[in-house]
A and B are shown apart, each in its own frame.
Chain A
Amino acid sequence: MSEAKTPRPTVAAPAPASIAADGSPAAVRSTAFGGITLSWDKLLTTVPIYIGLIVIWLYFDSQTAGKFIGARNLSEMAQEFSYEAVLAIGVVFVLLLGEIDLSLGYLTLLSVALTASFSALSQYSAGVSILLAIVICTLCGLLQGMLIAWVRMPSFVVTLGGFLIFEGIAYHILAGSTINVFDPFISSIGTYYLSNTVSWIVAVIVVAAYVLAKVANYRARAKAGLPHAPVARTVAAAIAIGVVLAIIVATLNSYRGVPVALAILAAFTIVFWFFASKLQIGRRIYAVGGNLEAARRAGINTTAVRWLVFGISGMMAGVAGVMLVGYSAAGSTTTAGPDLLLDVISIAVIGGVSLTGGKGTVWAVLLGGLVIASLDSGLNLMATDPYYVYVIKGAILLAAIGIDVIGKRSSGFSWLRRRTARA
């Protein structure tokens, strides 16, 4: 096997994940191919998902006489998946640590119950109801985090306890009934749209922010005498982002505009991406998840990091619950639960977050969320027998984990790499 000695430019799979903390592992890996940074591992793990997504879309579109890729369905899909994707942001951080949070489904239900009962039964204002629900859920998350980080109890046991406790409290608050929420502000979160003009302004701001951030980054690196990525690549990236955003906004505007829920998701994604990849504290999460012992020896307060992550997870459950009440204008025991938990874990994993920690970015929730939402929406549009939904979702989850696990072995996709190298 002479190929075994073939230089492999990106034997990066077992590389310390903490280094890849800026969310662009390619940057620290090979700079082969004349400055064009490429990571085969990254490509090989995400490309099948994109192909899968395209196949799903084309299939559903052909089955629904073009309704599926219609502006109206895409807009409704955005509303339907936003709260799940927001919840999945919390999951991403937990998975980055190599931990699990089983309580999320019922913590979200607790948030639903709190928001609905504060608003509809206690007659608190929308702001107070929302704030209280999010704060209480954050505290619940921090409490679990305390047991995990300080008492050093395994996360799946702690959050299993949380699973039962939050279920019990939520059921008690809802008392088996549905609470209608008539507050217009809360409903606006789930069912309103940004006006067309506002949507365009937001899109322009996002692109401008990206460019400005890159310029600042160049300056800083130049000052420190560090090399930076080629300007052409950044310009190309900015244009690509601009085009994608323009397509999304134009499509959604041709129906009713960008759903408020999607805007909330976008805002949280950007904020947490910045937090995870640009702030020291965020990068420490990757370090702890990549190698706990190494992180500890490097002087990172690993206990605090782990505590914080479960706080974030709780907070996102709070936010998702509020969005869910906004979406359904009601809260009931069937609004959220274990199915939601499995969905959001799938979202993170499909989006490329590794279950063993240290690998993945917040952007995963958009890709993974889109896959899960496409399945739900397409099968609804076709009025398919619901049994299939479970089977298909399960199969896709297994495929995503398979790609992750194989990709992580140093020899994982080597046969493919070798073949491409020869070609």
Chain B
Amino acid sequence: MHLRKRLIPVITLALAVPTIAAFPIASHVQAASQQARIKGKVAFLFSDFTTSARWQFDKQFFIKDLKKLDPGVQVVVYDAKAAQTNQQNQAKSALTAGANLIIDVPVDSAQAASIIRAAHANKPRVPVIAYDRLITGAYEDAYASFDGASVGVQQGNFLKAHVAKGGTIVSIAGSPTDNNAHLFYNGAMSVLKPLFDSHYYKLGYDKFTPDWNDATAQQEMASALNQLNNKVNGVLVANDGMAGGVITALQAQKLAGKIPVTGQDATAAGIQQICLGNQSMTIYKPVIKLAQRAANIADKFLHHKVFKSAVKTQTGAGGTPSAIIPVITVTKANLAATVIKDGYVAKSAVPQCHL
């Protein structure tokens, strides 16, 4: 009998688990050198370390660059485990602990506005830098990011250059709930949509992929190939992870390496596929440059100076002074001079490239 009673909490729990799983987890603490010209504390709030390898690079590069400028400044790193409420709590803790500057990778761009409000209401006022993702609905003091809009444009342009007239294009976009996925998609479509409208190309299959799941992308590609009788001439894939799934689906039809496949993130797995000829390109975001710019801006704020920039991003009246780092299309031809040279992907991680 008690078994039946147990049923209801069990089901509730099965559904509640993802929420509970995102509960705050202790943060990494990184102390820079104690010797100092100026002292201070920088709180670096990350959205999550688990689902993307790149944040580790952001963290390392930023700490290294800031240490060069201000050896006495301590950087405290937080991981919000992909929950905005965690990040909010962490921001409060950081302010209580006396942070002089907050750098925030928001989980949710709109909700993160409350972090800015709390920081600005703090005495003394603490400046906030939005890092990689814009915070909307409040005025951050600076915004440092990549040129996200051009990611899709570069992917679209690549296909335009490599797919002949009359070709059929499949689009496997990212998570429908992720604003970036729409940004990338719209960027690519700004190039391709006129070509679809003029019947220069045909859009054969068009789908967003929940959670950017690579196995789902593979199933979608298999369905697309089936639906189009394998007549596909180019695949617009939003990132490298899903490109891997798409390539496996293409391999099942002996089409891998025969048609252009795009990607993004310059992951080791993506670079391997590029060297094998299965993936045509990836978009590399030079984190090393972004971290450097952010460290420079942080240095200014720590010295109580203002960061000025001709580049503004609209977050409200006047716009936020911004540092926008261009992204780079990486193919077999330039990977050695970009991702490998910057140390973003180690040579040993991509033996397929014979570097």
Q: Which residues of A come within 8 Å of B, CB atoms?
A: 64, 67, 70, 72-73, 76, 80, 98, 100, 102, 154, 156, 160, 163-164, 167, 171, 175-180, 191, 289, 292, 324, 327-330, 332-339, 341-342, 345, 355-357, 376-377, 380-381, 383, 385-387, 389
Contact = CB atoms under 8 A, between A and B. Distances in A.
A156 B205 contact: no
Contacts of B220: 380, 383
B244 A356 contact: no
Contact of B241 (A67, A76, A178, A329): A178
Contacts of A357: 3
A328 B9 CA distance: 35
A344 to B, nearest CB: 11
A7 B20 CA distance: 50
Contact of A328 (B21, B240, B245): B245
Given A156-B13, A160-B13, A330-B244, A292 B3 contact: yes
A130 B220 CA distance: 27
Contacts of B267: 177-178
B161 to A, nearest CB: 26
Contact of A70 (B206, B215, B226): B226
A330 B17 contact: no
Q: Could you say which interface size class chain B belongs to? A: 35 or more
Contacts of A70: 226
A83 B21 CA distance: 25
A386 B176 contact: yes
Given A178-B241, A385-B176, A330 B227 contact: no
Given A178-B244, A191-B252, A383-B206, A328 B222 contact: no
B354 interface: no
Nearest to B21: A164
A156 B9 contact: yes
Interface of B: 3-4, 6-7, 9-11, 13-15, 17-18, 20-21, 49-56, 176, 205-215, 218-220, 222-224, 226-227, 240-241, 244-245, 248, 251-252, 267-270, 272-273
A332 B241 contact: yes
A160 B174 CA distance: 29
Contacts of B52: 176
A380 B207 contact: yes
Given A76-B226, A102-B14, A171-B50, A386 B241 contact: no
Contact of A356 (B3, B21, B208, B226): B3
A286 to B, nearest CB: 13
A342 B219 CA distance: 19
A14 B212 CA distance: 45
Contacts of A160: 13, 17, 20
A178 B240 contact: yes
Contacts of A385: 176, 208
A70 B227 CA distance: 11
A383 B248 contact: no
A47 B15 CA distance: 28
B209 A176 contact: no
Contacts of A289: 3
